[in-house]
Structure 1
């Protein structure tokens, strides 16, 4: 029996390089493998006789291999592997490209399954690169609903299926946590059965039951987390942060623009919350470009004026750097020390100085502990155990869905002072800092209130008055040249351009390849006279920062990128974004990408390149309301994901449920209340902070 905590290095056929690749996918042990779910399935369950096959069929056939051999292709200088598969009704040819090792796996006379798409014509049918598997009993890769997983470079679908099948030997150790009467009331299958069937379902019905159970579990746990967090906060005390009207007006005047009505309302809600002895727990939800940072700055300023420290948590180093630069400018009217702390950098800036000062991490950490730094901007580095604050009274989390419950909890527990004898407000060890979470993901209000039962909600639903709506156009393949001419004209005017390539759901390698190929095409064929840059998620932080600094400073005219630019990247001089293969994106994600070039007073443009001129995409041409587009996504995309985190990412900590499961979200909200009222022992035994191995 496999231990759930067994490291992946201990599994068969997992060496150091394979282990490294699996860890890139977030897989460290057997438990992680079991909970690494497919994103779709190939239906190879339809077993056909060879004489029943037709061009275009997705099918599985069973037969014996004949005439298996390798030969070299004269045109492509590639090894072709060919064979015939025969049953009692006939034979069909199979061809594999660049896979000569197949001769070591298959032999003439082997009885096998071939699964794939039938191609050819009336004279000859054949399989091209079919999946194959010897007939030995239970199948894994053929003759069934076959799971397809997100991959990374160096891992194949067959390898990940083989490893998950090994890991499922430990599924019996994952204990059922829901009471039997409760499961019966909600028609839920057993947890162990669901975990096996999500990977290797017997049929469509089996798959549906497993998906329902696992989605139900995830959403139920989310509601229970909200309940426990709210209960915990109801029993917590915060230090009141008083509103300083005069200094706040100075901060607002320094913004360089007038606050919108929505910003004023949200800022006032935040200030009222912070004035209470109960910890604020508010979500600030704002469309792209709606000014969330300005609202956060008002909160940070008032915290500093009350002699308490603030932490501003961002999901990436690029975003943390941008917030650091923005906040040091906004907070200039006050005499504050604003610092940045990430895995790669540390620095401090007094708002009365002209430039940031370099500082060692050790010295910065000491200054934070002594309460000498009023505002610290950082990444996950702020969550580290060695990071402490002398007087933490406010935590701001940007793109909060990128942080787990445990990480948010860890930040709130950093309020204990280094010197207990200090009693300056939030320095009291028993106090909890106020929390302001922010997101640009446009979640419909009713859904946000259901999902976030523990949070109060503020919505920024209007843009600054001088902000022009981006002109959006759908571009068919025939319109490329005209779009390129327009882009060249804008560069000559001094503007900059984003070109975004989609990530390919099945593999991050393919997404990087797409962006790299686009970069080469732009720099060598289309715009050889311009400076072209490349940005993707596989670059290290130094490479990313150099590219972004070059783009921000104007050294790069056109930046080809994966959707890593979607969240937070702010280059006001960029006025045009070109999005390739737009049909691969959700409406909400396209809207967020469009927001990258709607950051200044000049007119911005969004070209949506697509071969599918659908009604869904046409909505973007006239609609600029992220909340309306999000609601349309919920209606139209089925199991689509609104956050679009690398397109295949999950919503918050969810692995399988999504925002589109509206009825299930409501049902599990009701179920969570029933569980709390009728099964309190279940709640006591459940660890909801993260995925604990329940051994």
Structure 2
């Protein structure tokens, strides 16, 4: 929308760039310049008054008013008066005055009365880059419905927000804003933020632009892809065909089948090369195994810190850990990052630069199992395209329960029952070593009990240099794994049916959901026990009733 010179000048002073942002500069208070017959204590009020007496002291003017709208006299005081004020206050003159009225011991007085020439309206007061009266005149002239409609704001949102500027008397009585008004302000803030993000979005020419096919491959898979997997693959297919380097984040709940989307993307990019970076050797290994299994005709290589150096330019699909950043990489038309939140921005952009060709960029896909609320995904989609996978290929059957010390005997019986069916159990402790502060056992304190009463007990934690090997050994031949939250993301444990989380109230709901997602990966009946010393926790009670990662993310926001 083209702005006039005057509007642009005032927008610059207010540090805004649109009428939407102008509407968001809401008043901090209001002057109620209507006459009321009843005196209200501790509020600013307008009076219709005749001056009965004036006394000039050293630093004050003491005045007695007869107030016609109240029908009685009140005293008033002006502190540090200016000389001209004395001439305005002649005995016998009748005018309108506005000021704060307070009452003590039955006596009412007005402090700092200000002579008013216009009355009968409610005037908003602003704290901004313009003087309040100048701002109000600017609002009256420029803040019109049609200007906001042109910027894409819906009519009902406009009505709610304009009522804060062109105020109706009911708003003055309310202690808090009504919910629909608050929601309207939130909508406008998001709208303005998304426009700002969209304006900052930079576009680059892609290294490759093509339409890849996936349908024949999908039909040959030993299982059927979910509708959301297919929808996400189609989003990526469309991205690849455009004449700009795409940036897309795929957010999929735990076990939603993001791996198949990764493989479909690499397939659609053929004959051009794809690179995938994963946060751990275990995860890179798993992805390599899956890729080898489901893309049998594609030349695939695994790159970790222990890999032998080979000529990477001979391969179509390179899968690796951050070790990729320290290798000479051939150009790649597609770069993918799994569990993207585990890498810093610098690492992700470093990978991007390694395979870019001057101003041309590869297509870029980020994958994350950490659920984010839909609204957040929508906001960020102004800056990066987002696909959500909210369903899983098969329905998980996991019972979640909050347990206490009194339930321990029952828990032991449950664990013995699961192990008798050749299933595995994970017990997550909050600390590795004993703590004076925390009222829970650490791994070191607890491991003796489990090792004494059960066989094939494996122990690992974040500082354990052998943790990846321990997880692999446990997967093959373990009964119980004792660990910290190091297992939150990564290795697939097909026989794991039970997770016990000690001190569950200390963890975020998204972390609890990730840990719960370790069990029942192959459709087995799963159990998640949240052990706490707290008598009650509404947060944990809400968690056990909620299974969708996206609903968990909204709960997490609610309880923060």
Common fold: TM-score over 0.5:
yes
Equivalent position of 1:414 in the other structure: 354
Equivalent position of 2:386 in the other structure: 457
Equivalent position of 1:600 in the other structure: 522
String of CA shifts for 1:602-657, please: whole Å, max 9, x gaps: 111111111223121112222101111111111112xxxxxxxxxxxxxxxxxxxx
Q: Distance in 2 between matches of 1:511 and 1:538?
A: 22
1:535 equivalenced with 2:460 (yes/no): yes
Q: Distance in 1 between matches of 2:288 and 2:316?
A: 13
Residues matched between the structures, number: 370
Contact 1:501 1:511 in 2 (8 A): no
Q: Does the C-alpha gap of structure 1 residues 548 and 449 become closer, same or farther in structure 2, counting only changes over 3 Å? A: same
Q: Distance in 2 between matches of 1:276 and 1:403?
A: 27
Q: Distance in 2 between matches of 1:290 and 1:636?
A: 25
Contact 2:206 2:363 in 1 (8 A): no
Contact 1:512 1:562 in 2 (8 A): no
Contact 1:280 1:435 in 2 (8 A): yes
Contact 1:512 1:538 in 2 (8 A): no
Contact 2:433 2:443 in 1 (8 A): no
1:250 equivalenced with 2:226 (yes/no): no
What SS does structure 1 have at the residue aligned with 2:517?
A: helix
Shift of residue 576, structure 1, vs aligned partner: 0.9
Equivalent position of 2:229 in the other structure: 263
Equivalent position of 1:618 in the other structure: 541
| Unaligned stretches of 5+ residues in structure 1 | 1-180, 183-222, 347-359, 417-427, 638-695
What SS does structure 1 have at the residue aligned with 2:518?
A: helix
Match of 2:334 among 380, 394, 403: 394
Q: Does the C-alpha gap of structure 1 residues 505 and 559 become closer, same or farther in structure 2, counting only changes over 3 Å? A: closer
Match of 2:365 among 432, 436, 441: 436
User: Normalized against structure 1, the TM-score is what?
Assistant: 0.50
Contact 1:497 1:574 in 2 (8 A): yes
Contact 2:396 2:523 in 1 (8 A): yes
1:585 equivalenced with 2:507 (yes/no): yes
| Unaligned stretches of 5+ residues in structure 2 | 1-127, 130-192
Q: Does the C-alpha gap of structure 1 residues 401 and 506 become closer, same or farther in structure 2, counting only changes over 3 Å? A: farther
What SS does structure 2 have at the residue aligned with 1:392?
A: coil
1:278 equivalenced with 2:203 (yes/no): no
Equivalent position of 2:472 in the other structure: 549
Contact 1:503 1:562 in 2 (8 A): yes
- TM alignment of 1:151-166, pairs within 5 A: none
Contact 1:474 1:621 in 2 (8 A): yes
1:377 equivalenced with 2:316 (yes/no): no
Q: Distance in 2 between matches of 1:229 and 1:537?
A: 41
What RMSD in Å do the two structures reach over aligned CA positions?
3.1
What SS does structure 1 have at the residue aligned with 2:521?
A: coil
Shift of residue 456, structure 1, vs aligned partner: 0.4
Shift of residue 596, structure 1, vs aligned partner: 0.3
User: Normalized against structure 2, the TM-score is what?
Assistant: 0.61
Match of 1:337 among 267, 286, 299: 299
1:469 equivalenced with 2:397 (yes/no): yes
Shift of residue 377, structure 1, vs aligned partner: 1.2
String of CA shifts for 1:209-257, please: whole Å, max 9, x gaps: xxxxxxxxxxxxxx99x9599643x133341132224xx4325533x32
1:298 equivalenced with 2:264 (yes/no): yes
String of CA shifts for 1:283-308, please: whole Å, max 9, x gaps: 000110111111111001122x2x21
Q: Does the C-alpha gap of structure 1 residues 378 and 229 become closer, same or farther in structure 2, counting only changes over 3 Å? A: farther
Contact 1:502 1:511 in 2 (8 A): no
Q: Distance in 2 between matches of 1:397 and 1:470?
A: 29
Q: Who wins on radius of gyration, i.e. which is larger?
A: 2
Equivalent position of 2:149 in the other structure: none
What SS does structure 1 have at the residue aligned with 2:469?
A: helix
Q: Distance in 1 between matches of 2:440 and 2:336?
A: 32
**Moved segments of 4+, more than 6 Å:** 504-507, 509-513
